[in-house]
Amino acid sequence: MVGIDLNKKLWRIPQRGMVRGVCAGIAQYLDVPVKLVRILMVLSIFFGLALFTLVAYIILTFALDPMPDNLANGEPQPTNGELLDAVDRELAAGEKRLREMERYVTSDAFTLRSRFRQL
């Protein structure tokens, strides 16, 4: 039995596809061999579903996003939590820098230097 992971996304995989990568994307999503999906597609054409199969293929070609290269190469994709943590660290660093600039601008040293520049 084929188990579908609800966290998976259905992609087109042009890197592994013969035409546009739709069959390769469906095969990866269902965890079945690509050849099986291609054979089923060809058989559906021969058994009178040619128009339906071709229309579905064309619609999926435009509806599905192509798989990014980093996912196709097996590089791990960061989770939402990791992305939020990275953004949080970046915002904290920016806030720290802003506070340091504010502290300098309101300091006596800044006032003294700006008065020397005016001379």
Segments forming the whole domain that contains residue 104: 80-118
Helix axes 34-44, 50-63, angle to 10 degrees: 130
Please give the angle made by the CA atoms of 92, 96 and 99, to the nearest 5 degrees. 135
pLDDT (0 to 100) of residue 5: 54
Q: How many CB atoms lie within 10 A of CB 20?
A: 18
Within this chain, do residues 57 and 35 fall inside the same structural domain, yes or no?
yes
Domain count, the chain: 2
What local confidence, expressed as pLDDT, does residue 94 receive? 95
Evaluate if residue 2 carries a pLDDT over 60: no
Q: What is the spatial distance between Cα 9 and Cα 96, in angstroms, rounded to a whole number?
A: 38
> Quick check: 55 and 45 in contact, CB under 8 A?
no
| pLDDT tens figures, 74-88 | 666 678 888 899 999
pLDDT of residue 45: 87
Same domain? For 18 and 70 the reply is: yes
The Cα–Cα gap between 67 and 119 comes to 62
| Domain co-membership, 44 together with 101 | no
- Rounded Cα distance, 29 and 11, in Å: 8
Cβ–Cβ under 8 Å, residues 37 and 23: yes
Instruction: Examine the domain organization and report whether 73 and 37 are in the same domain.
Output: yes
Distance CA 92, CA 27 (A): 43
